[in-house]
């Protein structure tokens, strides 16, 4: 039985919007607006949605660098949205983050040795030799040459910088890494390399990933479970099998139809399908969103599959029935 490592419980992060002469708070951006999901030890959990859907805010709230408005993030049963709890649990050692833009997340004035050693220095007392050995070992793990330690971030390509970012994140022996679009800025071929060695490191060290992406294609072979985010809420959540083979919410279908097809024979059919889904998305907003355009609460439609549907039980029941038929 898979063991839960982290649980997100009705998490909300609202940013105030100020305006007028008095600079009063006139409204809020509901960047994250009541989401629930949990990640198991050693798994890759996908968090997918278009730009602006609230993915990065969620990731930052989980690692504890963004103040939450309400809700809890439970680690070992303790709410780590409180900084005292984070310190007590050594949370900042166990949970790390990797960013999309390695150029701005790696300090340009520091050598690679110091960049990778920094998190180690925060948590362990090592001699200079021990520290250098450890940094060499980490560079080796991510497939970088040992003379990299003397260099600076700008001397490397985007793909190599992402490797250095991973080495830095792995340095403290974490249990969970939040990877925020780690490959989005890279060429396709380099993307595949980075994903491969991330997978490799995960297996070797038993790390869980929260893998954030705007692209359902990228996470398809990575994640066991995933959640689809839209307008600060989750529209659909479930196992890889359920989401890719039996998607229900129109927003999920829209993201799926946006994955490019490689197969030339299927291109025309795919284009037609895509146009259909797009029209359904534009025309049937009232079916999938409430009168204020908000995403409905999640309802269970199958084992390990939840969809945001209107509160009336009839809708969920109907989909449940359809899904059962589909299986027979």
Ligand X SMILES: Nc1ncnc2c1ncn2[C@@H]1O[C@H](COP(=O)(O)OP(=O)(O)O)[C@@H](O)[C@H]1O
Does 213 engage in binding with Mg ion (CB under 5 A)?
A: no
49 interface partner picked from Mg ion, ligand X, none, CB below 5 to 8 A per type: ligand X
Choose which of 34, 52, 159, 310 interacts with ligand X (CB under 6 A).
52
Give the nearest distance from C-beta 119 to ligand X in angstroms: 23
Task: List 228's β-bridge partners, or say none.
Answer: 48, 236
Nearer to ligand X, 29 or 89 (CB): 29
- Binding mask of the shown chain, residues 51 to 70, with x at each position contacting Mg ion by CB under 5 A: -----x--------------
Task: List 306's β-bridge partners, or say none.
Answer: 237, 300
Of 18-26, 53-61, 134-142, 260-268, which segment contacts ligand X by CB under 6 A?
53-61
Number of residues in contact with Mg ion, rule: CB under 5 A?
A: 1
Q: How far does the chain reach from its first CA to its final CA, in angstroms?
A: 27
Does 159 engage in binding with ligand X (CB under 6 A)?
A: no
Does 174 engage in binding with ligand X (CB under 6 A)?
A: no
Could you give the maximum distance between any two Cα atoms of the chain, in Å?
A: 66
Of 45-53, 101-109, 190-198, 244-252, which segment contacts ligand X by CB under 6 A?
45-53
Which DSSP string do the residues of 43-112 spell out, in sequence order? -EEEEE--TTSSHHHHHHHHHT-S--SEEEEEETTEETTSHHHHHHTTHHHHEEEE-S-HHHHS-TTS-H
Torsion of CA 69, 72, 75, 76, to 10 degrees: 150
165 interface partner picked from ligand X, Mg ion, none, CB below 5 to 8 A per type: none
| 52 DSSP assignment | T
- The encoded tokens of residue 299 equal 């309802």
Helix 250-257 vs helix 267-283: crossing angle, to nearest 10? 150
Does 54 engage in binding with ligand X (CB under 6 A)?
A: yes
Give the nearest distance from C-beta 278 to ligand X in angstroms: 20
Does 51 engage in binding with ligand X (CB under 6 A)?
A: yes
Of 44-52, 78-86, 166-174, 182-190, which segment contacts ligand X by CB under 6 A?
44-52
Task: Quote the CA–CA distance of 158 and 295 in Å, as a whole number.
Answer: 36
Residues near ligand X (CB under 6 A) are 15, 29, 31, 49, 51-57
């Amino acid at each position: 039985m898979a063991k839960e490592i982290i649980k997100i419980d009705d998490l909300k992060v609202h940013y105030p919007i100020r305006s007028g002469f008095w600079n009063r708070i006139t409204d809020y951006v509901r960047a994250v607006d009541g989401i629930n999901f949990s990640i198991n030890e050693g798994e890759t959990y996908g968090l997918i949605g278009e730009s602006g859907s609230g993915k990065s805010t969620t990731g930052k709230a989980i690692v504890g660098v963004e103040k939450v408005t309400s809700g809890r993030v439970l680690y070992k049963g303790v709410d780590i949205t409180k900084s005292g709890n984070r310190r007590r649990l050594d949370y900042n050692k166990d949970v790390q983050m990797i960013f999309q833009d390695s150029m701005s997340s790696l300090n340009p004035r520091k050598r690679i040795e110091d960049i990778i050693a920094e998190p180690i220095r925060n948590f362990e007392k090592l001699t200079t030799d021990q520290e250098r050995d450890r940094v060499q070992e980490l560079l080796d793990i991510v497939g970088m040459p040992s003379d990299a330690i003397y260099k600076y971030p700008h001397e490397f390509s985007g793909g190599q910088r992402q490797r250095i970012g991973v080495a830095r994140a792995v340095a403290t022996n974490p249990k969970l890494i939040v990877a925020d679009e780690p490959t989005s800025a890279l060429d396709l071929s380099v993307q595949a390399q980075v994903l491969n060695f991330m997978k490799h490191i995960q297996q070797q060290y038993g790390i869980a990933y929260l893998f954030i992406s705007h692209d359902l294609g990228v996470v398809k072979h990575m994640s066991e479970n995933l959640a689809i985010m839209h307008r600060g809420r989750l529209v659909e959540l479930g196992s890889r099998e359920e989401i890719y083979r039996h998607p229900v919410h129109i927003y999920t279908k829209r993201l799926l139809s946006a994955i490019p097809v490689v197969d030339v024979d299927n291109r025309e059919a795919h284009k037609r399908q895509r146009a259909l889904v797009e029209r359904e998305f534009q025309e049937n907003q009232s079916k999938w969103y409430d009168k204020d355009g908000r995403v409905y609460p999640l309802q269970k439609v199958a084992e390990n599959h939840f969809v945001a549907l209107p509160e009336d039980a009839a809708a969920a029941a109907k989909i449940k029935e359809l899904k059962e038929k589909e299986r027979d």
